Structure 1
Amino acid sequence: MLEARDEQVEVSWAVPPPRRTMMDNTEHLGRRIRALRHARGMSQQVLADLSGFTKSYLSHIETGTRPVERRSTLEALAAALRVAPSEISGPLAWSAPDPVAAEARAVTEDLAAVLADHRVGDVPDRPVRPWGEVAADVRRLNSDLRPRADYAAQGYLLPRLVEELLVTAGRASSPHRTDALVALADCYHAAAVIAKNTGVRPLAWVAADRLMGVAERLGRPEHTAHALWVRTHMIGGVGRERQIRQAGRWLDLLADEMSDHRVAQAAGQLHLTAAFAHATLADARGAADHLHEAEVVANRLSSDAGRFGYLWFGRTNVTFWRVSIAAELGEHTLVERLAEGVDPGTLPDRGRQAQFYSDYGRSLVRAGRTRERGVRVLRRAEELAPQLTRNNPLVREAVRFVLGRRLAEPAAREARGMAHRMGVAA
């Protein structure tokens, strides 16, 4: 059995948001940055110096004349302001109501309650349905709701399902204890993804911690590897250097287990997470090294989309991450070339496809020659996974950006439609 200890997680305290009315629909990330800067008593020059940008560039961001295009920009400003990135990009920064995105965020409250109330090993005091009915809900979660990135439906299902699985796993006489633990791993992974992608990062850390508890109970290398990747992947934000350190530690820990294709898939994902973390730190060489290692692992696998732990690790997923990393590094010509050479449908996960289209589309809308195609690509992301796409702050920034640019009427109409649905104004 593999054993691992995680590093202590630091949580940044939020600055209270400024009061606003429901009629205030001109919000953008720059405006939120300006409000937080004022709350900190900082001048533009001070914030620019602390975050590593010019005062002119920061001014353009704050006035909304330049969108926040990269996660590294968001994270640098958050670090300088001493807040979590979610305090800039999270739901509190949005004004106009978007019922689809809001429903996905609303379920996190019930998820937080069940994750806080019960640790792995607890046996909640609640009745449990016959195993066949519980198992059917687990199959529905994994084969339908997770691949569609339907966070609201998952959020309604998970609290009761988690409690029932904890009861089943905690009963010494139950013949389904191991099945229940494996299903709990799926549930905690799903909860972590929902929390991360709706901007509730601390809840994602709790879900990842609960998943680690399941892996320790199962005592299998593949489940430990899966939990280590989820725990590392959920760090993000201003913890990129810690994320890189942890990925390196876990990869060393897994080195002797790589003959197991399931462990290899999790290790490949660790390389991808580390590659993206390097990219957010503007370390193109570090990103390239980890991308290469991920590609080596992917080429050894028999399947192009591994199904263990719903990681979908394989050659296509590596290309997806290459697109995301190239977009983060500002290599927009490379983004276009990579994206045109991949078939997103190879991965049977609409949420993962939507993330690919989101990164691809955000890159395309920067330039006039590809802007209208970028609008269509962003629209495709929204069609595939609306709850995921509309909760993505960088997509919202991209949509707001194109509203003020010259577009042919079909693309302009699509942009206005997305803006209306997301509650975004120019």
Structure 2
Amino acid sequence: MDFPEELSMGERIRALRESRGMSRAVLAGMCNRGPDWLKKIENGDRELNSHTQLLRLAAALAVSDLSVITGNPSDVAAMVPSGRLNHPAMPAIWEAVMTRPLVFRPLTTPPDPAQLQGRVDQSWRLWHTSEHNRTEVGALLPDLIRDAETAVRVLDGVQRRAALVALSDVYRLTGQATAYIAPAELAWVVADRALTAAQDADDPAAIAAAAWNMGNILRETAYHEEALRVVVEASGLIRSHLERAPDDWRGIYGALQLHAAVTYARDGAEGDALRCWEKGNEVAKSLPVSYVHPSTVFGRANVDFHEVSVHTDLKKAQKALGIADEIDPEIMPSTERKARLWVEVARGHLQRGDRTAALMVMQVAYETGAETVRFTPTARSVAADLWRKAPRALRPQAATLAELVGVNPAS
């Protein structure tokens, strides 16, 4: 819908609700709230400050761009994660996940959990180093899923626990590789299986890693409060082990703190966001300078990268860009994470209204990790914004970027 610029946010929500034939009770219920809460927002008697609730309203109203609701043309377009993107790897992954056999035939040679874990670790490295990580890792996942499921069913004792940890890692990797391309039901199945396998293994580090993965899915589907609860519980579970724990246990604990920092920042909770980032920063200081967690890539570089993300989400573009100026992206071993850093820098430039700089940075992001940009909603939002509002002299470059990223100009 095209709204007059003078309409308030509440008036826009009411118009959208009425255009869809929805009562206040129905829309409020979809946001886990009562009709009085929605009535006050629509009438302007209550401000809508929660990013989580704003996302839920947008998803319930089938609005794909938050700026339609906020009505502020200077805002960076924020895509609502309601739809899914197509990728050729999905059918085979879907089949492997959703057609798990109920009966496993005995094997002549028992599977080796160490060898299985080695394959999983190699796949994580590929995820972080390949420019086309979804395609290349997606091709490996169906066999990994089946082999890990088989190992868990045919082994017992210590070997079965090791296989369960590998299975949890496989499903965590599946969640990463299928983010934004998997149907919602598969995303939840994968996250739940990762956590269940880790709990069955009774391995605190695996449970914490699976909780980090679950938190990602909860946050990206606008359940910020639930994401924070999972992260806090997982942090508590592993905290008592940290004094004598291996580096990777501290690494996943640090990753949980950074996850909470970004989640708080997206809700505008600056104090909580910076407090959690500082916790992650302290963990990084306690680890070797060159340390990098194998799956979350937690380490010195990732802590610095997250500081940029936190300030961008807090709409403090000048601070974010100042931090980014002091970062050497090449110290990050993850191509995927480097591409996401450049997207965050582009978002910062957009917040300042500098679309020329944003376009230049987005071109670098795409060259760094094409599939990261093509299949990440924030990156697609930046590309779409640039296509619509780039300076006249740069419109051809903005159109080329939009075409590469796969942004529909009609959107």
What RMSD in Å do the two structures reach over aligned CA positions?
A: 4.0
Which amino acid in structure 2 is aligned with residue 324 of structure 1? S
Q: Distance in 1 between matches of 2:255 and 2:313?
A: 18
Map of 1:242 onto structure 2: 226
The answer to whether the aligner puts 1:83 opposite 2:60 as a matched pair is yes
1:285 pairs with one of 259, 271, 274: 271
Map of 1:213 onto structure 2: 196
Map of 1:262 onto structure 2: 248
The answer to whether the aligner puts 1:354 opposite 2:336 as a matched pair is no
Which amino acid in structure 2 is aligned with residue 254 of structure 1? I
Structure 1 stretch 271-280 or stretch 400-409: which is displaced more?
Answer: 400-409
The answer to whether the aligner puts 1:416 opposite 2:393 as a matched pair is no
| CA distance 1:220–1:393, shift in 2 (3 Å) | closer
Which amino acid in structure 1 is aligned with residue 309 of structure 2? S
| CA distance 1:297–1:140, shift in 2 (3 Å) | closer
Post-superposition shift, 1:378?
1.1
Post-superposition shift, 1:335?
1.2
User: Pairwise mapping of residues 10-409 of structure 1 onto structure 2 (< 5 A)?
Assistant: 38-41=19-22, 50=38, 75-81=52-58, 83=60, 89=79, 102-103=86-87, 106-118=88-100, 124-125=104-105, 137-138=119-120, 140-148=122-130, 150-172=133-155, 177=160, 180-198=163-181, 200-236=183-219, 237-259=221-243, 260=245, 261-308=247-294, 310-368=295-353, 370-405=354-389, 407=391, 409=393
Alpha-carbon contact 2:266-2:313 (below 8 Å) kept = yes
Aligned length: 365
Map of 1:425 onto structure 2: 409
Q: Which runs of 5+ in 2 are unaligned?
A: 1-13, 29-36, 66-78
Q: Secondary structure at the match of 1:365?
A: helix
Q: Secondary structure at the match of 2:333?
A: coil
Q: Distance in 2 between matches of 1:90 and 1:353?
A: 23
Q: Distance in 2 between matches of 1:180 and 1:343?
A: 38
| CA distance 1:258–1:171, shift in 2 (3 Å) | same
Post-superposition shift, 1:404?
4.0
Post-superposition shift, 1:163?
0.8
Post-superposition shift, 1:290?
0.8
Q: Secondary structure at the match of 2:179?
A: helix
Post-superposition shift, 1:299?
0.8
| CA distance 1:408–1:345, shift in 2 (3 Å) | farther
Q: Distance in 2 between matches of 1:108 and 1:52?
A: 43
| CA distance 1:39–1:376, shift in 2 (3 Å) | same
Q: Secondary structure at the match of 2:285?
A: helix
TM-score where L is the length of structure 1: 0.72
Q: Secondary structure at the match of 1:380?
A: helix
Alpha-carbon contact 2:208-2:237 (below 8 Å) kept = no
| CA distance 1:218–1:282, shift in 2 (3 Å) | same
Post-superposition shift, 1:278?
1.3
Alpha-carbon contact 1:357-1:377 (below 8 Å) kept = yes
| CA distance 1:86–1:244, shift in 2 (3 Å) | farther
Map of 1:66 onto structure 2: none
Which amino acid in structure 1 is aligned with residue 319 of structure 2? L
- Per-residue CA deviation, residues 157-187 of structure 1 (Å, 9 max, x unaligned), is 2122211222233323899656544432332
TM-score where L is the length of structure 2: 0.74
Q: Distance in 2 between matches of 1:110 and 1:36?
A: 39
Q: Distance in 2 between matches of 1:256 and 1:128?
A: 42
Alpha-carbon contact 1:403-1:415 (below 8 Å) kept = yes
Alpha-carbon contact 1:150-1:387 (below 8 Å) kept = yes
Post-superposition shift, 1:295?
0.9
Q: Distance in 1 between matches of 2:407 and 2:167?
A: 36
